[in-house]
Amino acid sequence: MAEPLANGSHSAQNDDDVLHARAESAKTAANQDFKDAHYQAAVEGYSMAILLDPTKAVYYANRAAAHIRLESFGSALADATKAIDLDPKYIKGYYRRADASLGMGKMKKALSDFKRAASVAPRDPDLRKKLLQCEREVKRIRFEEALAAPEEKPVAEEIDLSSMPVEDSYDGPMMEGSEDTGYMLTLDFVIAMLEQFKIQKTIHRRFAFHIIMQAREIFREAPSLVDVSIAQDAHITTCGDVHGQFYDLLNIFELNGLPSEDNPYLFNGDFVDRGSFSVEVILSLMAFKVLYPQHMHLARGNHESQGMNKLYGFEGEVKAKYNVMMANLFRETFCWLPLAHVLNGRVMVVHGGLFSKDGVTLDDIRRIDRYREPPEEGLMCELLWSDPQPGAGRAPSKRGVGVAFGPDVTRAFLEQNGLDLLVRSHEVKDKGYEVDHGGYCITVFSAPNYCDQMGNKGAFIRFNGATMTPQFTTFDSVPHPPVRAMAYASNIFGSMFGF
């Protein structure tokens, strides 16, 4: 009886060796995909390695790194925690979990993991650098919180444009009017402003504040859900995330024409952060909003929020190019941005997606009190943060915020509200767009080669009023001046994403 047992044991060992070898091969291929910035393919490769050998901490930690690049911080947190469970001395598990916490704005949790990793590997130079950076960031946040006083009145009421005279030395574009009569925004000024931005120059702070203040008043008058009518012989162009990629925004206008009463646009959130020309993007979009308030529509994204702007560069960029007061005015203005648009009563456009419960109506969205920073749960949070999933039902979000919703959830929502289609943004797509849920859910993303490293195309959608059938245009990225993405973010956030 001994011989068959020996043969069986040898066979089992051979099978294990084969599985381990296949797992390592899958990891090696996934590592190459990661280096090539094919992060979704890397996730799939590491998942195959885990399926073949679920005992290796490195597979989970590597998959966490790919999830981080895809901004799936909830999934990254889970993978990093699994890596630590498998090997409590594996410092990259703590690294990855700290990075995932950073991406979610949970600085104290990130600091805790960096400290735990340092206790395991006290001489690791990269770890010591990250620990020091995180400690500084936490101290900065605590300092700002200690200095912050409750706002007694809106920031806009503290701004006196007359205290910002245009100096004789200013050589940029001028609005029509004068200090005595006041200034007026015109199309000629906006076109000149785009040219000024193109050569990396700013406009005078007086004119920048003027644009933001006027846009703010228009947003204040808008409902949380805006109904947009498109005539039978007219159209509207819907764009997704732009993320501070000003030169790609100019390319959209080159391909599709400038916004006008005859060429309306809807930009679906995430105008700022990541890309380092966010000031130029948001001032351009707001200027067109002021020119054409009924034909230029802007929706709030999850990055139009104070927490995201502190982490991902916009606040730092505004302070560098203008001042703290303007950063505060942007924060206040973002809180007035609408949360959703419905086109011709048939297509709902939101930045993120749908909800963690059934039965939500368009009137429920209209009733949202949106003038606040986005909460961590509820309808407003889910409109800004949720993502579609291929499977039915709902699941925890891969981001750690919002919810993942399936095709049945999409169809039920559309049927209940008499809609044909859901359009959303919020996710990088290789082609710039993706059609999901049997054609009922479309993602559009308009920042090609996102962060100068993803290699994706951008896209926009045109809807004709007569049919409301989506027509897609895809485009590649265009060159921009040598300013890296995340240039105005804290060093610790730049390093997390490879900058």
Measured at the CA of 76, the angle between CA 334 and CA 491, to 5 degrees, comes to: 60
Is residue 241 a contact partner of residue 446, using CB atoms and an 8 Å limit? yes
**Tokens at residue 18, please?**
């084969």
Total Cβ atoms within 10 A of residue 235:
16
Which residues, in sequence order, are bridge partners of residue 442? 423, 435
Mapped onto helix, strand or coil, the DSSP state of residue 154 is coil
Instruction: Report the distance separating Cα 378 and Cα 94, nearest Å.
Output: 31
Mapped onto helix, strand or coil, the DSSP state of residue 115 is helix
Is residue 230 a contact partner of residue 236, using CB atoms and an 8 Å limit? yes
Active-site residue list? 303
- Among candidates 312, 295, 293, 294, which has minimal Cα distance to 303? 312
CA 483 to chain CA centroid, nearest Å:
19
Sheet containing strand 421-424, edge to edge, reads 225-228, 340-343, 347-350, 421-424, 441-444, 433-436
Instruction: Report the distance separating Cα 480 and Cα 198, nearest Å.
Output: 9
CA dihedral (380, 386, 388, 393) positive or negative: negative
CA dihedral (252, 258, 259, 262) positive or negative: negative
Burial class (CB in 10 A: 0-12, 13-18, 19+), 12: exposed
Q: How far is CA 396 from CA 44, 321, 386, 414, in A?
A: 19, 39, 10, 22
Instruction: Report the distance separating Cα 385 and Cα 75, nearest Å.
Output: 14
Q: What are phi and psi of 258, to 5 degrees?
A: -70, 150
Total Cβ atoms within 10 A of residue 376:
9
Spatial neighbors of 65 by CB under 8 A, at least 6 apart, are: 34, 76, 96, 99
**Tokens at residue 363, please?**
């009137």
Is residue 443 a contact partner of residue 426, using CB atoms and an 8 Å limit? yes
E strands in 43-149 = none
Instruction: Report the distance separating Cα 193 and Cα 174, nearest Å.
Output: 9
